[in-house]
Amino acid sequence: MTRLDRYVGKSVLMATLVVILVIVGLDAIFTLVDELDQLKGAYGFVEALEFMALRLPRRAYEYMPMACLIGCLAGLGGLAASSELTVMRAAGLSVTRIIWSVIKPVAVLMVLSVALAEYAIPTLERMAQSQKAVQQGKGELLSNKGKGYWHREGDQFMRFRAVEPNGVLHGIAVFYFSPEKELTRVVRAERAIFQRSHWQMQNVREQLISDDRSSVTSYGSKRWDSGLTPESLSVVMIEPRDMSISNLYAYAQYLDDQDLNADNYLLSFWKKVTQPLSTFALVLLGAAFIFGPLRQVTAGSRIFSGILVGLVYKYLEEMLAPASIVLGFAPIMASIIPIALSALIGVYLLRKSG
């Protein structure tokens, strides 16, 4: 039975890897085409290729559940088309045992995927975004154009045009407010470099604002004390979906302590935590299709069905995420509901076919 387990697992694993390669490859081409419309300054074709390459692990992670579903359909479907599944069943191999053989390689992919999301993707995404922002914004870092990054610290609101991973900020604007929520001071700087315990601003313009007048003073260099560090800037630089699981949880707790809305971070946290469960649920559903309604169809039909089911799952998950914020139910339910539905449908189809 061990040899059959390896054979089934290898078939599904190879099919899944091919699907990941194809999907991520197509996504990389579309990403590169989109980046070609954003070439400016020092951000050229080579830099766009580097940006695309740095984001490939993130795209592989995002497509992993759908890839495992299609890989399961393609791998098991190929065995079914050659009647190998029928022979296995006749030899006494149960459906449960076959599904367990499929889940083993998927579990390995899930461990690698979680490690990628926790350690590699946040760093690579931070590098990609900061390098792109700096390269596009050279010569325009004081113009306050573009999206930038915002952060709040007490009564200070900060905006950065670009952030480098090594602790350099570009295009800084710090807005100071009084306890009465009145703007009292604005400090703008071309860049700031972290000096162990503080930031050293360069090319600084400080504007003091009072009821009857305002004044502007320029400095070549000025010390800036802030609780921000190059390590904590990862929260400012990247979207919640690109943060590690541990950072998402820690920052959600920080926002909650500050009486700020942490729903977006909790949604991303639970989505990452439950992704292995969602993948296993989709694989179970895919296996149920092979032993049930897709037993006799062509390989193309199976792949199309897998893509359709994956898209329905993804859109349901994306619809429930904002619904949890609007309707006020727990963010974890936005991830649990699609998983439960997929698992229940899979179990139902397996019992019906068995």
Mean local confidence (pLDDT), 49-71? 93
**Segment 318-333, tens digit of pLDDT:** 899 888 888 888 889 9
348 touches 291 (CB < 8 A):
no
Dist. CA 103–CA 89, nearest whole Å: 18
Signed CA dihedral, 138, 141, 147, 152: sign only: positive
Q: Nearest to residue 234, comparing CAs of 152, 141, 127?
A: 127
**Segment 125-163, tens digit of pLDDT:** 888 887 887 777 654 443 334 567 888 887 889 998 877
pLDDT band at 1 (very low <50, low <70, confident <90, very high): low
Instruction: Look up residue 40 and give its two tokens.
Output: 């400016």
**What Å distances lie between residue 281 and 103, 287, 323, 339, 347, CA to CA?**
10, 10, 22, 6, 10
275 touches 261 (CB < 8 A):
no
**pLDDT at residue number 252:** 85
Instruction: Provide the 8-state DSSP code for 329.
Output: -
Dist. CA 26–CA 37, nearest whole Å: 18
**pLDDT exceeds cutoff 80 at 167:** no
Mean local confidence (pLDDT), 310-320? 88
Own/partner contacts of 219-223, CB < 8 Å, gap of 24 or more, are 222/187, 222/189, 223/198, 223/199
- HSE at residue 100, side-chain half, CA atoms within 13 A, is 9
Residue with tokens 């306050």: 144
**pLDDT exceeds cutoff 90 at 201:** yes
| Residues 6+ away with beta carbon under 8 Å from 72 | 12, 15, 16, 102, 106, 282, 283, 286, 287, 290, 306
Instruction: Look up residue 260 and give its two tokens.
Output: 């700020």
- The total number of residues written for the chain in this structure: 354
Name the residue ranges covered by the structural domains of the chain: 2-136+259-353, 149-239
- The pLDDT mean for the chain works out to 85
**Segment 37-52, tens digit of pLDDT:** 888 878 889 999 999 9
Dist. CA 319–CA 312, nearest whole Å: 10
Mean local confidence (pLDDT), 270-286? 93
130 touches 96 (CB < 8 A):
no
Dist. CA 12–CA 16, nearest whole Å: 6
